[in-house]
Amino acid sequence: MDSTRRSWTKAILWNLIGFASMSVVGLIMTGSLSVGGGMALINTAMGFSLYLLYERLWARVRWGRL
């Protein structure tokens, strides 16, 4: 099972990657860095919260482990 610190680290790094990619997509789609960045920020906050919860829940599931 992953430690809480490991789950947090994975979630933060994954969301930094997601924020960067969503910022680029938002910029391309809207032509505005502030609108694209705002979209990316909201997406990152939601994704971070859900990913962390998802990881912690799966850490408690024993099914499929050897």
Count: domains in the chain? 1
Residues spanned by the domain of 27:
20-57
In the chain, % helix, strand, coil (3-state, to 5) comes to 80, 0, 20
**Residue 18: per-residue pLDDT:** 87
**Residue 66: per-residue pLDDT:** 77
30 part of a folded domain: yes
8 part of a folded domain: no
Round to whole Å and give the CA distance between 5 and 55: 12
31 part of a folded domain: yes
**Residue 65: per-residue pLDDT:** 78
Tokens of 19: 């924020």
- Write out the chain's pLDDT in tens, 66 residues: 678 888 888 878 988 898 899 999 999 999 999 999 899 999 889 988 898 898 889 889 988 877
3 part of a folded domain: no
In terms of pTM, does the model score above 0.85? no
**Residue 21: per-residue pLDDT:** 92
